[in-house]
A and B are shown apart, each in its own frame.
Chain A
Amino acid sequence: MSLTEIVDTIYEIILVVNQDGDVLFANKAAEKIRGQTPGEIIGKKLNEIIVTTPTKTGKPATQVLTLDQLDGLAQKGVPLELSLTFVAGVKKQIECRVSDILWEHHKAYLLALHDITDIRRIAQLTAEIKEKSRIDKLKDEFISIVSHEMRTPLTIIKGAVSNLKDGIIGPMTDKQLKVLDTTNRNVDRLARIINDLLDLSRLESGKAKIIRRKTNIKTAVDEVVLNFQNAAMEKNIAVLTDIPLDLPPVFADNDLIHQVLTNLVNNALRYAKQKITVQVVIDKDQNVRVGVIDDGEGIPKDKLGNLFNKFEQINRPTGGSGYKGTGLGLAISKQIITLHQGHIWADSDLGLGARFYFSLPVYHENDDFLVALENVIATAEKNKAKLSLLIISLSNMGKIADQSSEKDIAWMFADITREIRNKALRKSDFMHFKRDTREFVVMLPDTERDVAKKIAERVHNLTKDCFCPGRLGKIFVTLHIGVAVYPDDAHAAPQLLEKATKDVE
């Protein structure tokens, strides 16, 4: 490969310009500028090739890259950033570096033009994203502060109204009482909006704490339906439930699921004519799906998608002085269900009522443990500390299972757990038995790999001298231990577990 070929292969544009501004050399990449070949470029003036608007300076734009500038750039050795318009109107950000050279015994300038359009674009996007999350944070803070500040005056108004209503100040006429009732109802409504806004902003910002546990959906549905029985009876509406007996538990925050159900049933109650059904099924993906079905007017298909937006209220019953919604219930419900890795959606046929559904993943033995692990990881992240994970499995589990009853095995695991906890672990360590894989998982907060390995060795030594736990008699337990360390090996709980499991093998 000749030197010219090499220079022509380079992605950067290379130009040589003499002190009069004539182009003496251009590589192939220079075609990108005006669509002219190097042959066409050579002999032209630099200011015919590069028409620029220097950026950064903020001074009035000069239209050309002047010869004076070239000299200065070459002396200082710093790059100049240019905004250029290439052939076909393509806008480019170019970094231009200039060096003094000798070209056929005369002083000349070597210009290397490097395309930094993508780099600048990424920087700009990053800045935009940062700005957006800053604004989101400000918005959350704003809502939170405003809501809190609004509560105090509301409390005062409510108190004042109830002093009047209850005749503390003096007797009230019926008309006066009616006005006070209206006032009171709307103060309550405003309070609901504030509470909902606060809930929503907490959920959206991730500040809301969700505490997921093994939860029985049937109990939640029954409780919520019971809460609405009186209100439904007043409106002559029947609230029915249709729940299979063998429903598996879900992994959910009971209070939040209550809130979602309350929202949906409350909505249905406003639109239903005679009947609301809360139906629970196991769907084809083995999730628990809850449906709240009413026999009201229904919702036009084209409005279904917007339902879960903030302040979206369609077909809102007009007039009347009854209970009014906040327009935030479904947005809150959606946030809650999304936080549970579930789905929420609506379906309706005009005239045939509306059906609101949400589905939640079924509870697995491991769910609690994964959440615990996530929490420990979050703490480690916050404290910028390490976290080691041990996975301890029984290498001769097959043999043990062949020779022992389930009950004996359960005893054995209980014994091993106690033994390891008491003799090998420190106070701050957590140990968990994973039933599905029959492994022990040990979380070692604030622990580096070498220390974790020492602890693993301690566990190993326990089984060395005659460790035949429980009623298994002669069988010796042999352990295999795998180690993984946060954040070195993985950041998220499932990956960290996987790493440690691989280490066992």
Chain B
Amino acid sequence: MAKKKKVLVIDDEGDLIDIIKMRLEKAGFEVESALDGPLGIEKTASFKPDFILLDVSMPGMDGWDVCEQLKINPVTKDIKIIILTATRNLKRAKDVQADRVILKPFNYEEILDVLK
């Protein structure tokens, strides 16, 4: 069996993490999570995910900043980052080199499609 793909979910909403996690684990992914930006960056280093689902509006360091930091770091720059946001700020997404933007409220099919 092929090695499980790893997904890191960074979101300050624990409940949302729980339900995304359920879904992704069922779909065969290995999932870890972090409740804020700095923790997310730490987790990225240790967990070495293939994908990151990243919420934008988090207190303190927001998703844009997290994305920017990960993308300028040569070690983490190749991890695919999918931004989850309710605001259609596509220019900002491009500026921080996000790989994809999924607009909230989203459905799972969208996320699963992207992860494939």
B89 CB within 8 Å of chain A: no
Of A51-59, A108-116, A154-162, the stretch lying at the interface with chain B is: A154-162
- Residues of B near A466 (CB, < 8 A) are none
Is the CB–CB distance between A168 and B26 below 8 Å?
yes
Question: CB within 8 A of A162: which of B15, B16, B86, B108?
Answer: B108
Given contacts A154-B105, A158-B105, A168-B23, 6 further A-B contacts (CB under 8 A): A151-B104, A151-B105, A155-B104, A156-B13, A162-B108, A163-B23
CB nearest neighbor in B for A155: B105
- Residues of A near B23 (CB, < 8 A) are 159, 162-163, 166, 168
B114 CB within 8 Å of chain A: no
- Residues of B near A162 (CB, < 8 A) are 23, 107-108
Contact with A along B6-21 (1 / 0, CB 8 A): 0000000101100110
Say how far A368's CB is from chain B's closest CB, in angstroms: 23
Is the CB–CB distance between B22 and A163 below 8 Å?
yes
- Residues of A near B13 (CB, < 8 A) are 152, 156
- Residues of B near A168 (CB, < 8 A) are 22-23, 26
Question: How many residues of A are counted as interface, with CB atoms below 8 angstroms from the partner's CB atoms?
Answer: 15
Say how far B14's CB is from chain A's closest CB, in angstroms: 10
CA distance A220 to B16 in the complex (A): 37
CB nearest neighbor in B for A198: B86
Question: CB within 8 A of B19: which of A154, A159, A191?
Answer: A159
CB nearest neighbor in B for A167: B26
Contact with B along A138-168 (1 / 0, CB 8 A): 0000000000100110111011101100101
Given the interface contacts A152-B13, A152-B16, A168-B22, does A159 sit within 8 Å of B104 by beta carbon?
no
A169 CB within 8 Å of chain B: yes
Say how far B83's CB is from chain A's closest CB, in angstroms: 15
Say how far B37's CB is from chain A's closest CB, in angstroms: 17
- Residues of A near B86 (CB, < 8 A) are 148, 151
**Count, A-B residue pairs, CB within 8 A:** 37
Is the CB–CB distance between A159 and B20 below 8 Å?
yes
Say how far A41's CB is from chain B's closest CB, in angstroms: 71
Say how far B94's CB is from chain A's closest CB, in angstroms: 19
- Residues of B near A163 (CB, < 8 A) are 19, 22-23
- Residues of B near A166 (CB, < 8 A) are 23, 108
CA distance A158 to B23 in the complex (A): 13
Contact with A along B93-107 (1 / 0, CB 8 A): 000000000001111
- Residues of B near A160 (CB, < 8 A) are 19
Given the interface contacts A151-B86, A162-B108, does A156 sit within 8 Å of B26 by beta carbon?
no
Say how far A136's CB is from chain B's closest CB, in angstroms: 23
Is the CB–CB distance between A191 and B105 below 8 Å?
yes
CA distance A96 to B13 in the complex (A): 65
CA distance A152 to B107 in the complex (A): 13
CB nearest neighbor in A for B11: A152
Among residues 46 to 76 in chain A, which have CB atoms less than 8 Å away from a CB atom of chain B? Answer: none
CB nearest neighbor in B for A161: B19
Say how far B64's CB is from chain A's closest CB, in angstroms: 17
Give 20 A-B contacts (CB < 8 Å), ordered by A residue: A152-B13, A152-B16, A152-B104, A155-B104, A155-B105, A155-B106, A156-B13, A156-B16, A156-B19, A158-B105, A159-B16, A162-B107, A163-B23, A166-B23, A166-B108, A168-B22, A168-B23, A168-B26, A169-B22, A191-B105
CA distance A160 to B105 in the complex (A): 13
Is the CB–CB distance between B16 and A155 below 8 Å?
yes
CA distance A155 to B86 in the complex (A): 11
- Residues of A near B19 (CB, < 8 A) are 156, 159-160, 163
CA distance A152 to B105 in the complex (A): 8
- Residues of A near B107 (CB, < 8 A) are 158, 162
Among residues 302 to 338 in chain A, which have CB atoms less than 8 Å away from a CB atom of chain B? Answer: none
CA distance A417 to B16 in the complex (A): 57
- Residues of B near A158 (CB, < 8 A) are 105, 107
CA distance A155 to B107 in the complex (A): 9
CA distance A158 to B105 in the complex (A): 9
CA distance A168 to B23 in the complex (A): 7
Among residues 156 to 184 in chain A, which have CB atoms less than 8 Å away from a CB atom of chain B? Answer: 156, 158-160, 162-163, 166, 168-169
Say how far A118's CB is from chain B's closest CB, in angstroms: 48
CA distance A458 to B96 in the complex (A): 44
Say how far A158's CB is from chain B's closest CB, in angstroms: 6
Say how far B4's CB is from chain A's closest CB, in angstroms: 17
CA distance A282 to B91 in the complex (A): 40
CA distance A152 to B20 in the complex (A): 13
CA distance A288 to B86 in the complex (A): 35
CA distance A163 to B26 in the complex (A): 10
CA distance A155 to B13 in the complex (A): 11
Contact with A along B28-66 (1 / 0, CB 8 A): 000000000000000000000000000000000000000
Say how far A174's CB is from chain B's closest CB, in angstroms: 21
CA distance A426 to B86 in the complex (A): 40
CA distance A142 to B15 in the complex (A): 25
CA distance A123 to B116 in the complex (A): 65
CB nearest neighbor in B for A187: B105
CA distance A37 to B86 in the complex (A): 74
- Residues of A near B15 (CB, < 8 A) are 156
- Residues of B near A154 (CB, < 8 A) are 105
